Each structure stands twice: as C-alpha cells, then as structure tokens.
C-alpha cells in the first residue's frame, strides 16, 4: 500500500514539474456603499511563465461576461497593476482592478482568469480562475409618512381604526423600520393576514381601561374632562339647535339690502367625540417590501391602532430607519392634529349680481401651528337652509364656485365643514351680493322698450282705422 502511495506522489511531482502549477484566489471584500472606490485584488501563485490575466464582470445571472481588464504577456513588458515577489522558486503575483465610485449596476460577481505556459510546450496554456461577489449597498433615498384611507370623515359616535404608512425607497438591502410616539419606541404586535381588518388595533370590552387614570398626564385629564358638560354628557356644538341668525346687530334686524355693504361674518364651531377609549391601545405592525427596477428595495411599514382623538391629538409619531449604509437613523415625523377653524376668502371681495364667486379655504385660524393639519382633512360645503346654487346638497374640495350669482343669494349663509378622524370643525360665512349697474341699466332699457311698444300699439291701430275709413 505504501509503495502505491509513493508512486502516486512521484507521478504528481513529475506531472507538476512538466506542466507547472497555478493557484488563483481573490481577496474577500465586505459590503461597500454606493459611491465608494473599490479595489479588487487577484492573487495567484505559480512556478511557470505568465501568459495572460483577464478580469470579467458577470452579468445577466451568469449567462454573460463583460471583459473589464486584460494583460497579455506576449505584447506587454511592464506589469501594469501587478506586483511580484520571489519566494523560493515560486512567483507570487497580484493583479488589482480599481472601480471608482461604484454604483448599483456594479453589484454582482467578478472573475479573475490567469493563464501560464505549459512547461512541456509553449503552445499550450494552463488556465485557472477565482471569483468574488461585490455587494454594493445603497442607503435609502427617501422616507415619508402617510395616513391610509384619507381624507376621511370624523365619526363622533363610534371609534375607528387608524393606520400610518411609512414608505422607504431606495435602500439595499432592505432597511429596518420602526415607529416611535413622542420619542418613545412603540411596542407593536405583528399583524397576520388571517386577522380581520375591522378588528385590528381594537381592544375588547374587558381590556378597556377608564380614560381617567394615574398613567395619564394631568393636562390630558383636564383636556378630556373639559369636553364633558355639567352632567357628564359630551358637549354637542351646532347640533340639534334651532337655526340662529348670523346677522350683526340686534335681533330682528332686517336683512341688508343689495345696496348696503356689510362685512361677511365668520362663525366657528368645534365638535368632539361622544365616546372614550383606553389610554393604552394595542399597536399592530405589518410591512411589505418589493424590489425596484434598479435593484433597490421599497419598504412599506404600517402601524394600526384604535384611534382616540382626545389623547392622540397633538401626538408626535415618527418613522425611523436603520441601515448599514447610514451613519445615523433616517426618520420622518408627523403630528396628529385635528383641523382648527378654516380661514375663508371670498373673491371678488365685492360680488355683484352675475359675477362668478369663489369661496376658498386659505388656511386655519387657531393656534401657532394651525396650518399643520394631519391627516389631510376633508372639506365639505353646504348652504344653510337650502341647496347650493347648482341644486346639489353638498360639494367637496377647498374651493366652492358659484357661477353667475343672482340677487336672491344676497344674505345666504354657507357652511364649510373641515374634518379628519381626529375632529371636525366648521365655519359659516355670509354672501353679500351687490347690484350690478350694467345689468340694472340693460333691464331698464328693456323695460322702456316694452313700454314704448305698449304705447305705440293703440296709435298704430287708430291710424290704420282712419286710413281704412278714408278709402271707403
């Protein structure tokens, strides 16, 4: 047995002496960040004469190779990008390829192919290769937080679910996404597709805690109690009340005439929910990810809970992202906020009969951050005491357009209701319509023409009768 082993070793040494040996390895690289400069290093050891070195970028899943560097010993005498170290009778070579400012398209496998001359015949070449996969990381390009299924109405009688959606695009690999409330990490529960959507984030009746508890901040307790009437009944504003006159002056004062200029007045009311919820809701978390055309990922993370407008109003929610290509977390913040009284503008400011009037929401009137309303509110327009000019009961949008207003709309009251899941508020404004001199003049000329026709009619009849008598 030992004789056979010795014979095999002698044959291997003899074959190695005739053909020569060649080993190729590529130094491993950690993941790199897009925009970095990368150097690929190919080390090979041989006791033969070098023939060529070729670097390839492997594309299309390994079905195609793109040549990025070639060294041919037959036509090149200097070893560009190469170093050699003589160790014993071996030669250790290193070939380097520099990739400046790598991009996502540089991600993938690379191969280093080396050829040496066969010792027995220079017409034969011995080949060996090594490979490495370059992993290019891309930091997220954008992050945003939205509210799902918005704009939506405010429900004053029944609680509802609320979902924040955090969208992170451009990261590779997919980033880690998490939510915070008022700077504190939110403890979430995973949401599975087997659960019913209407039950996400809802607490059972046994799990509900009283609104007033020691865990609540004193200001929030006072704010919650302020919504209750003297008999612990929620206050209802502008509901189930008789219609009130919004004219300035004493009660019973007549409506302004078309020639009287009165400044349009504004009345603001606010509605609050008639129900209370637990101060410790359950937060449910779900996320999905998809690959974009450039190889990066888009992640959508969703946070769902049972909304409590009394406690969630003015709460700061943030979506934060951790990624190996970021030195610090990336985040986006939103503050949940109920709409305040809308600020309305009327154009033209002095509307006349026949004009097209636009009543527009320019912003909100209350608080230093009144214009920062999240989620996006729903704007609804109605006319107090009747339909709108086009016959519809309500219109949606930030602008109400009244085309060719008639004199009958003078003094009419319009209500703009602004609402989101956190609350509802409305503003009333009165439309003052002035007489249009041009229309009044045309109407007067038309009346004069009719009167002249009425007067000329009998005269013409008498003239025709007299002519007839003379002829006979």
pLDDT digits (tens, 9 = 90+) for 429-458: 999 999 877 765 555 555 555 554 455 455
What is the pLDDT, as a whole number, of residue 134? 94
> What's the chain's average pLDDT?
75
Pick from 86-100, 249-263, 280-294: least confident: 249-263
What is the pLDDT, as a whole number, of residue 439? 67
Q: Copy the structure tokens of residue 170.
A: 């451009």
What is the pLDDT, as a whole number, of residue 141? 93
Pick from 163-177, 183-197, 446-460: least confident: 446-460
What is the pLDDT, as a whole number, of residue 82? 41
More confident residue, 407 or 90: 407
Q: Classify burial at 197, counting beta carbons within 10 Å of its beta carbon; exposed 0-12, middle 13-18, buried 19 or more.
A: exposed
Residue tagged 């949401």 (tokens): 191
CA distance readout (Å), 124 to 12, 51, 119, 132: 19, 10, 8, 27
* Cα 170 from chain centre: 14
Is the pLDDT assigned to residue 231 strictly greater than 90?
A: no
Highest-confidence segment of 57-66, 82-91, 214-223, 297-306: 297-306
What is the pLDDT, as a whole number, of residue 240? 38
CA distance readout (Å), 244 to 239, 262, 428: 12, 18, 11
More confident residue, 127 or 157: 127
| Percent share of the chain, pLDDT over 70 | 65
CA distance readout (Å), 303 to 26, 147, 233: 45, 10, 32
DSSP string, 318-367: EEEEE-TT-SS-EEEEEE-B---PEEEEEESSS-BTT--EEEEEEEE-SS
Confidence of residue 239 (pLDDT cuts 50, 70, 90): very low
Pick from 63-67, 154-158, 244-248, 314-318: least confident: 244-248
Is the pLDDT assigned to residue 92 strictly greater than 70?
A: yes
pLDDT by residue (tens digit) across 62-77?
A: 788 999 888 888 776 4
Instruction: Tell me the whole-structure pTM to 2 decimals.
Output: 0.65
Pick from 47-61, 92-106, 181-195: least confident: 181-195
pLDDT by residue (tens digit) across 283-335?
A: 999 999 999 988 899 999 999 999 988 889 999 999 999 999 999 999 999 99
Confidence of residue 342 (pLDDT cuts 50, 70, 90): confident
What is the pLDDT, as a whole number, of residue 268? 53
Is the pLDDT assigned to residue 472 strictly greater than 70?
A: no
Mean pLDDT computed over 155-184: 92
Give dist(CA 339, CA 96) in Å, integer.
62
What is the pLDDT, as a whole number, of residue 260? 37
Q: Using only the alpha carbons of the chain, give its radius of gyration.
A: 41
Highest-confidence segment of 34-38, 215-219, 261-265, 445-449: 34-38
Is the pLDDT assigned to residue 395 strictly greater than 90?
A: yes
Give dist(CA 35, CA 139) in Å, integer.
11
Is the pLDDT assigned to residue 113 strictly greater than 80?
A: yes
More confident residue, 15 or 325: 325
Pick from 32-36, 169-173, 352-356, 461-465: least confident: 461-465
């Amino acid at each position: 047995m030992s004789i056979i082993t010795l014979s095999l070793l002698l044959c291997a040494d003899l074959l190695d002496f005739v053909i020569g040996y060649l080993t190729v390895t590529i130094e491993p690289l950690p993941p790199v960040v897009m925009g970095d400069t990368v150097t690929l290093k190919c080390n090979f050891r041989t006791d033969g004469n070098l023939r060529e070195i070729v670097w390839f970028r492997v594309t299309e899943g390994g079905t195609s190779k793109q040549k990025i560097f070639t060294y041919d010993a037959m036509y090149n005498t200097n070893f560009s990008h190469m170093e050699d170290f003589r160790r014993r009778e071996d030669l250790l070579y290193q070939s380097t390829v520099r990739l400046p400012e790598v991009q996502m398209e540089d991600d993938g496998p690379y191969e280093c192919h080396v050829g040496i001359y066969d010792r027995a015949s220079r017409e034969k070449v011995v080949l060996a290769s090594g490979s490495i996969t370059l992993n290019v990381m891309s930091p997220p390009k954008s992050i945003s937080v939205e509210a799902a299924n918005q704009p939506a109405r405010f429900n004053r009688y029944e609680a509802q679910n609320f979902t924040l959606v955090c969208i992170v695009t451009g990261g590779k690999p997919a980033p880690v996404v998490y939510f915070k409330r008022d700077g504190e990490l939110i403890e979430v529960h995973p949401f599975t597709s087997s659960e019913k959507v209407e039950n996400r984030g809802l607490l059972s009746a046994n799990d509900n805690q009283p609104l007033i508890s020691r865990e609540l901040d004193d200001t929030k307790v006072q704010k919650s109690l302020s919504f209750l009437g003297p008999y612990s009944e929620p206050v209802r504003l502008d509901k189930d009340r008789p219609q009130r006159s919004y004219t300035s002056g004493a009660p019973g004062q007549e409506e302004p005439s078309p020639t009287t200029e009165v400044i349009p007045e504004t009345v603001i009311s606010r509605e609050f929910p008639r129900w209370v919820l637990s101060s410790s809701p359950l937060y449910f978390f779900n996320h999905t990810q998809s690959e974009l055309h450039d190889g990066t990922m888009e992640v959508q993370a969703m946070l769902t809970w049972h909304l409590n407008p009394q406690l969630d109003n003015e709460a700061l929610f943030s979506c934060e992202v951790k990624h190996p290509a970021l030195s610090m977390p990336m985040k986006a913040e939103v503050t949940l906020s109920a709409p305040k009284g809308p600020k309305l503008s009327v154009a033209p400011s002095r509307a006349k009969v026949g004009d097209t009037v636009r009543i527009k929401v320019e912003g909100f009137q209350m608080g230093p951050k009144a214009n920062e309303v999240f989620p996006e509110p729903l704007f609804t327009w109605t006319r107090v005491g009747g339909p709108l000019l086009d016959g519809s009961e309500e219109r949606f949008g930030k602008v109400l357009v009244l085309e060719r207003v008639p004199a009958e709309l003078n003094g009419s009251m319009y209500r703009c209701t602004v609402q989101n899941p956190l609350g509802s508020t409305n503003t009333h404004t009165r439309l003052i319509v002035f007489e249009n001199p041009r229309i009044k003049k045309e109407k007067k000329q038309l009346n004069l023409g009719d009167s002249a026709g009425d007067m000329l009619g009998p005269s013409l009849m008498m003239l025709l009768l007299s002519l007839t008598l003379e002829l006979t």
